[in-house]
């Protein structure tokens, strides 16, 4: 599909606010900001309140050179709310809510964890509101993450399209992800390698695939519970149907919406470094990881914050 050419800066302001206890440096015109002047391991309440504000403003924020461990990441996550329950693995020892996202240098897989445009775990009734990822070991190049601002994507729809999508519900299901994992397992077994519940290369999964496939119906346009901002809740990985529409009708509309949300004009891209912590709001952005660093190790740690039922 041809990319739409839009110039979003007229309808969205990603400039930094003047904060008192942190500094925010916008990453791109569409979204994202680096937060400076804070160590997460020594965070105080006023700094946290400004970080939270910056997250809702910029949709994705990141902090460099963080000297932090799993307990610091857990404490920071809990400041936003209870842990999310979309755990894909059993967590790291002693920290079951900290999920290792690791690909070893010699691992070769078609699909890594987080590949393809997606919002986190929308196949659940209450998907995680916020996700964060800490970079512990980063390839010398490759392994970036890209985000797109889905509130900006919503604003860039015509008024007529806004009316069309307003009442719709999208079926979010992990059917494709599960099929891919099963295929990887089949190939491994055929080669005589360990298979079973391994998935995404080096991640040992601990998931209920049936629930993921059954999925959930959510509003195509959701309203952010804190800011009231409306955003498109559609992605490439999980959005598979529209309530009350035939597959042909849903595919046509979802085809347009999927391309629309993931335009370069709505994006920002993060080059990771060891000690970088990124935090994003799944209610107002989509993201994807790249499988472009074979030969290098990437070790990340993920936590999520429990979300509400999308409205
Ligand atoms: C994710 O989708 O949560 C993982 C993103 C990444 O590994 O860059």
**Ligand 1 neighbour 114 (Cβ under 6 A):** yes
Supply the pLDDT for residue 259.
95
pLDDT for residue 201: 63
Contact 304, 128 (CB under 8 A): yes
Exposure letters 129-166 (e unless 16+ CB within 10 A, then b) = bbbbbbbbebbeebbbbbbbbbbbbbbbbeeeeeeebe
**pTM for this structure?**
0.92
CA of 248 to the centre of ligand 1 (A): 31
At 84, list the tokens: 């999310």
pLDDT of the residue at 185:
75
279: Cβ below 6 Å to ligand 1?
no
Mean pLDDT in runs of 10 for the chain (311 residues)? 59 90 96 97 97 98 98 98 84 93 90 90 96 98 98 96 98 90 77 60 69 94 97 97 98 97 95 98 97 96 97 97
The pLDDT value recorded for residue 25 is 97
- pLDDT for 4: 57
Q: Indicate the top mutation candidate among 287, 291, 298, 305 to test ligand 1's pocket, ranked by most ligand atoms within 8 A of CB.
A: 287
Q: Is 286 in the pocket of ligand 1 (CB under 6 A)?
A: no
- Burial environment of residue 195 by CB neighbours within 10 A (0 to 12, 13 to 18, 19 or more): middle
Q: If you ran DSSP here, which 8-state letter would residue 184 be given?
A: H
CB 152 within 8 A of CB 11: yes
């Amino acid at each position: 599909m041809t990319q739409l050419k839009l110039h979003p800066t007229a309808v969205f302001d990603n400039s930094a606010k003047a904060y008192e206890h942190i500094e925010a440096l916008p990453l791109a015109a569409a979204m994202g900001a680096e937060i400076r002047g804070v160590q997460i391991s020594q965070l105080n309440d006023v700094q946290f309140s400004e970080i939270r504000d910056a997250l809702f403003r910029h949709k994705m924020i990141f902090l460099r050179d963080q000297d932090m461990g799993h307990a610091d990441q857990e404490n920071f996550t809990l400041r936003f709310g209870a842990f999310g329950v979309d755990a894909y693995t059993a967590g790291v020892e002693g920290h079951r809510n900290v999920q290792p996202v690791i690909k070893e240098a010699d691992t070769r897989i078609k699909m890594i964890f987080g590949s393809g445009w997606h919002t986190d775990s929308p196949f659940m009734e209450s998907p995680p509101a916020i996700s964060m990822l800490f970079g512990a070991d980063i390839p010398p190049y490759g392994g970036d993450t890209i985000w797109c601002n889905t509130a900006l994507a919503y604003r860039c729809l015509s008024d007529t399209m806004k009316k069309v999508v307003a009442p719709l519900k999208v079926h979010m299901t992990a059917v494709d992800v599960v099929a891919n994992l099963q295929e990887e397992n089949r190939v491994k077994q055929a080669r005589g390698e360990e298979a079973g519940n391994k998935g995404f290369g080096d991640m040992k999964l601990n998931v209920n695939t049936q629930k993921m496939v059954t999925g959930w119906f959510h509003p195509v346009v959701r309203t952010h519970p804190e800011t009231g901002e409306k955003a498109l809740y559609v992605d490439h990985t999980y959005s598979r149907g529209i309530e009350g529409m035939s597959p042909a009708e849903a595919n046509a509309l979802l085809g347009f919406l999927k391309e629309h949300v993931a335009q370069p004009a709505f994006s920002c891209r993060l080059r990771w470094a060891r000690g970088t912590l990124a935090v994003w709001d799944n209610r107002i952005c989509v993201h994807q990881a790249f499988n472009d660093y074979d030969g290098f190790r990437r070790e990340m740690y993920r936590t999520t914050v429990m979300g509400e039922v999308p409205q």
